[in-house]
Structure 1
Amino acid sequence: MFCCFFEPARSFAQDPTGSKTGTVTDVTAAKAGSPTAAELADAVGHNKIAINIMWTLIAGFLVMFMQAGFALVETGFTQKKNVAHTMGMNFLVYALGMFGFWICGFAFMFGGALNAATLGGAPGVVSHEVIVHLFGHDFGIAGNVGFFLNSKVYDVGVFALFLFQMVFMDTTATIPTGSMAERWSFKSFLIFGLFISMFVYPLFGNWVWGGGWLSQLGVNFGLGHGHVDFAGSSVVHMVGGMAALAGAIVIGPRIGKYGKDGSVNTIPGHNIPMALLGTFILAFGWFGFNPGSTLAGGDYRISIVAVNTMMAGTAGTLAVLAILYIQGKKPDPGMLANGLLAGLVAITAPCAFVNSLSSVIIGAIAGAIVVFVIYLLDVKLKIDDPVGAFAVHGANGAWGVLSLGLFADGSYGDGWNGVPGTVKGLFYGDASQFGAQCIGTLTCAVFVFTIMYIFFKISNKITPIRVKEADEIAGLDIPEMGVHGYVD
């Protein structure tokens, strides 16, 4: 028997297409369903800011997940006997950094520029920047509002900005845990976590992002748009990289890394799959890092930022692969991972200001830089950096902000740092922008390295920064953490 089933046409009481959802009846109005022009305008403005806050928070959640990536990369590139110690530092720096930034770091960094228009303008919040008047100009040094996120900044926009910037800061604080891995005293690390989150990162961050003096080089001295760093090649990565270099120098190389005859001994990581998984997690989180720095879900530039981020990272990997083959070497997965990260670090500053071809060039050069700097530190200077933290973040953080001064094509950034017109680099007719980038890069290198070198020296007097020799040889998991990373 053949049966046919027919279902008569029907009208749905529900709204499966969504065409009836979100209409004028959903607009808050004194007279339901009949909003005034002012009420409609308020609804539009509210939705715009809501979209920006939601986008910024989601991007912040992605950046927070990068902490897992750092933990896996650093632990995979270090020895099995130090797994609990390396993981422990990467885990606890999150809590330490957050509290340090909450206490005073956020206030120092953004206390002079809390009225972020894309996040609502923080109505009622009063900002205050500490100013030094020199050479006929005002130089912003530090913010002075927002300590402990007190009641004066109890605002939805300010809190969204805090979360987003806090996870950025945590990236900076994590970087030295790689360069000083396998011999850093945990107690000394705890002091470091508070110091960098409360003072070093926030101060330089204020100068670039908080309305401080580097951002005003354009307004005050006609140097382009001032020091421009879209998402943190200098503010985040170079600060962390310079701190990592200072720490690696002060703490010294791992036992057995260098022979008395000057030979270099490879100390292989214990888990390459772990390190590569961590690298992929970092690359994923970078979509929060770079596109998220628009702080505006309605900024169409997000797509260009995202594509440039991908292109530069992969170009860094391929550049490293080519160099290894040219050198007659095998395609070392660890070096390939560092190539990807180097490209991502370098594109972080210019990602919104360059085209895709420029992003590929920037990423490829970053890959070459990471190979050269790792060789320079490891072989020539005998500075032991187990995961290549300075080569990836410090050297390529510097390259990233300098590349912006070369490749910015003038298609974005109108009014950036209070300067009319779009951001253009040297190759597009504005040599002064490159000058501003050079000043910012030099300032970061000198300020951060000097402060952190002195800090590590003083910190060593408070509690030794290096573990006992016997503990380093046996492994730090039991002496420092009380548990084995692996049961076997």
Structure 2
Amino acid sequence: MFICAGHMGGLECARPIRTATDQWRNRGMGRRVMGIIAGSVLLCLLLSGTAAAAETSETSSHNALSPLILLTFLLPAGLILLSAAAFPEDQAAEAAAGGVVSWGMACLAYFAVGFAFQFGGIAIVYPSPDLAGLYWEYSPLDVAWGSGWGMLGLRGFLMAGPAATPGALTLFLAQLPLLGVATLIVHFATWRTTHRWLTLPLGLLMGSVAYPWLGNWIWGGGWLANLGLTMAYGHGLVDAAGSGQVALCGAVGAFAAVSVFRGRPIALPESRLDAPLPRAHLPLLGWSGALLMTIGWMATSPMAHFPTATNVVLPVMAVNMVLAAFGTAFAAGLYTWLVSARLDVLMIGRAMAAGLAATAAGAPFLPAWGALTVGLVSGLLLPWLLFWFENRLNLGNAAAALAVFGIPAALGLLLPGVLADGRHGAGWNRIGFDAYLGTPGQGVSGLWVAEGLTPDWPGQMLAQLIGLAAILVWCFAVFWTPLSIARATVLAWRRSGIEFGTPPPPVPFEADPPSMPVEASRFDPVSERGEVCGTDTQNDEANQR
């Protein structure tokens, strides 16, 4: 018996018979898709080179578009390809198109209100001239508990006024790929379970409430980032590249949505517990998507967190993410090779995404051996997690979201509290610019630190645990509450039997009472008034007598 997992929506035990025409059509589609991917990568590189040349030629560099921003859009593009590879070929195109629509809805909501909610008070913690007008941070606890408990930004709506500066627009553009990843995780997990019209509400919830409010707490100067100042818990919540903000937010939202709309769990027969490995319907798309995600997430890393720390080394961040991604792919690929005598393309692609999600939070602060170890462990856990969520808990489409992004991101969010070695991150979240724990230049520290540095235990771990709990509760509530209300409303409407555009049924009346004899009136000529002198029946009886 070997343990593995089914792809999104079910298991595939046999390949369908294909004709020569179908094979020719599939090969043609694969060539076209690969051509589009190659063209997109070349276009991004060309635009990056152009932007870099423009940046060096301009006297004011803050007006130039960073070439890394253009590469960040490879991150959601790769996720679309990786997720579409698990769908049957006749459904992949529609699912991918729906993902773009959902991402577009999230971007519109983020443009209207989301950016203001997330970065409306960034000027308080990040002294930049371009962001100086974004200084309004709402907090219900400042009066009682002091400053540092920001909950929500309130300036920059519709990207107008103080949000129309080059710096604010660059910050807005840098968040769109990360917002896209969180939205797409929810979309692909719910595509087969829910109705198609939910694509727009899910994107609206993510872009206007779930992502920006959480982003304010973590990256916008909110209360989670300030736990080091308010509660003396390390450097506050550390999430450098989005393990919690992006991956965990999307996975929890997907689980909440699927839990609302899925039916009752079905008892699985014992024969299904010996499940085959998931089959990649479009294997080249899956592998290409995983590579694009790796490039895009590395490009996103240096611009995701504001304000930046003073001594974060970007090569350390990039190397740790690559080691984790390929370590996860190696471990998962080796596992599938041993249990099924073949290298499973879809599992390897998902493993790379899981490695990125696991190391994104602490990538600038982990030693290289720590990132590689995290990747290897994540790769061994991934097939078991997929099997457990898909076949034992019967979570359906949410199984891949939880196994690839949810559990790895949750574990990765705790890594800085254990493996952060203190060599990097001085000044992170405005903590320890000059010295920390009595050591000059010490940065984000966990339990195991470099030689000569002081462990920050359990302070940093407490900050990470509080952040993890806040993300789980917030993201689940944001999606579960409105979707449950919407579902209950629709079910109540259906039970009423009333359809849109039809008048309500008439109110039923009681049966007419039995007819009673009618009294006849007779005119009295004397009194000139009518008097009731009896019924017609009584008059007839009198005449007969």
TM-score, normalised relative to structure 1: 0.78
Q: Which moved more, 1:180-189 or 1:288-297?
A: 288-297
**Does the aligned pair in 2 maintain the 1:70–1:278 contact within 8 Å?**
yes
**Residue type at the aligned position of 1:435:** L
Distance 1:460 1:123, change over 3 A: closer
Q: Which string of whole-angstrom CA distances, capped at 9 and with x for unpartnered residues, describes residues 350-389 of structure 1?
A: 1111121111012222223323321221122111127711
Q: What residue number does 2:249 align with?
A: 239
Matched, 1:270 2:281: yes
CA offsets per residue over residues 293-318 of structure 1, 9 Å max, x none? 36789977111111111111001111
Highest Rg: 1 or 2? Answer: 2
Q: Equivalent residues in 2 for 1:13-412 (5 A)? A: 46-47=60-61, 49=62, 54-55=65-66, 58-114=67-123, 120-122=128-130, 124-133=132-141, 136-138=145-147, 139-252=149-262, 263=272, 268-293=279-304, 301-325=313-337, 327=339, 330-385=342-397, 388-412=400-424
Q: 1:130 to 1:330 in 2, by over 3 A?
A: same
Contact in 1 for aligned 2:421/2:445 (Cα 8 Å): yes
In the TM superposition, what whole-angstrom CA distance separates every residue of 1:184-240 from its partner, at most 9, and x where no partner exists? 322111111111110111111111111111111110111001111001100111000
* Amino acid aligned to 1:427: W
User: Are 2:151 and 2:213, in contact at CA under 8 Å, matched by a contact in 1?
Assistant: yes
Asked whether the equivalents of residues 190 and 257 of structure 2 are also in contact (C-alpha less than 8 Å), the reply is: yes
Q: Which residue of 2 aligns with 1:440?
A: 467
Q: Aligned partners of 1:121 and 1:253: how far apart in 2?
A: 53
How far off is 1:67 after superposition? 2.5
Describe the shift of the 1:453–1:297 C-alpha distance in structure 2 as closer, same or farther (beyond 3 A): closer
Question: Take 2:169 and 2:118, find their aligned partners in 1: how far apart are those partners?
Answer: 14
In the TM superposition, residue 456 of structure 1 has moved relative to its aligned partner by 2.4
Q: Which amino acid aligns with 1:69?
A: G
Shift of 1:162: 0.7
- The 8 Å contact of residues 116 and 157 in structure 1, kept in 2 or not, is answered as no
1:123/1:233 CA distance change after superposition, 3 Å: closer
Report the Cα distance in structure 2 between the residues aligned to 1:344 and 1:123, rounded to whole angstroms: 30
| Cα distance per residue 1:136-169 (max 9 Å; x no partner) | 3342111011110112322111111111012211
Q: What is the distance in 2 between the residues matched to 1:373 and 1:322? A: 16
Residue 457 (structure 1) aligns with: 484
> 1:398, CA displacement in angstroms?
0.8
Distance 1:229 1:123, change over 3 A: closer
Query: Residues 366, 160 of structure 1: CA spacing in aligned structure 2 closer, same or farther, 3 A cutoff?
Result: same
Cα distance between partner residues in 2 of 1:229 and 1:100: 24
The answer as to whether partners of 1:201 and 1:235 remain within 8 angstroms in 2 is: yes
2:447 corresponding residue in structure 1: 426
Of 74-83 and 402-411, more deviation after overlay is shown by 74-83
**1:273-305 deviation per Cα after TM superposition (whole angstroms, max 9, x unaligned):** 221121121122122122443678997711111
| Cα distance in structure 2, aligned partners of 1:346 and 1:184 | 28
Please say if residues 389 and 395 of structure 2, whose CA atoms lie closer than 8 Å, have aligned partners that are also in contact: yes
Note if contact 2:446-2:456 (Cα within 8 Å) is conserved in structure 1. yes
Structure 1 residues 112, 262: CA separation in 2 closer, same or farther (over 3 Å shift)? farther
Q: Distance in 2 between matches of 1:253 and 1:76?
A: 25
- Cα shift readout 1:420-439 (whole Å, capped 9, x = no counterpart): 13110122211110111011
Alpha carbons of structure 1 residues 114 and 262: separation in structure 2 relative to 1, 3 Å: farther
- Between the aligned partners of 1:204 and 1:191, the Cα distance in structure 2 is 18
Separation in 2, partners of 1:445, 1:294: 20
Query: What letter corresponds to residue 127 of structure 1 in structure 2?
Result: Y
Q: Distance in 2 between matches of 1:71 and 1:316?
A: 20
- CA contact under 8 A between 1:353 and 1:404: conserved in structure 2? yes
Work out whether residues 60 and 167 of structure 1, in 8 Å CA contact, stay in contact via their aligned partners in 2: no
Change (3 A) 1:261 1:318: closer
Supply the distance in 1 between the matched residues of 2:376 and 2:227 (Cα, whole angstroms).
30
Q: Which moved more, 1:203-212 or 1:130-139?
A: 130-139
Alpha-carbon RMSD across the aligned residues, in angstroms, is 3.0
Identity of aligned residues (%): 24
**Residue 225 of structure 1 aligns to which amino acid in structure 2?**
H
Q: Report if aligned partners of 2:311, 2:425 keep a CA contact under 8 Å in 1.
A: no
Secondary structure of the 1:145 match is coil
Report the alpha carbon displacement of residue 65 of structure 1 after superposing the two structures with TM.
2.5
Give the conservation status (yes or no) of the 8 Å contact 1:111–1:144: yes
Moved over 6 A (4+): 294-300
Separation in 2, partners of 1:122, 1:72: 36
In the TM superposition, what is the alpha-carbon distance from 1:269 to its structure 2 partner? Answer: 4.2
Higher relative contact order (CA 8 A, sep 6+): 1
Q: Distance in 1 between matches of 2:263 and 2:344?
A: 23
For the residues of structure 2 that align with 1:386 and 1:216, how far apart are their CA atoms?
Answer: 33
Distance 2:418 2:312 in 1: 23
Deviation of the 1:348 alpha carbon:
0.7
| Contact 2:312/2:364 (8 A) holds in 1 | no
Partner of 1:376, secondary structure, is helix
* Residue 356 to residue 54, structure 1, CA distance change in 2 (3 Å): farther
Offset, 1:68 = 2.0
Answer whether contact 1:67 1:90 (CA < 8 A) is retained.
no
CA separation of 1:62 and 1:115: change in aligned 2, threshold 3 A: farther
How many equivalent pairs are there? 417
Aligned partner of 1:10 in structure 2 is none
Cα shift at 1:342: 0.7
1:373 match: secondary structure: helix
Q: Distance in 1 between matches of 2:243 and 2:398?
A: 21
Q: Is the 8 A contact 2:309 2:428 kept in 1?
A: no
Structure 1 stretches of 5 or more lacking a match?
1-20, 28-42, 465-488
TM-score computed with the length of structure 2 as normaliser: 0.70
Query: 1:455, 1:263 → 2: CA distance?
Result: 35
Q: CA deviation at 1:349?
A: 0.7
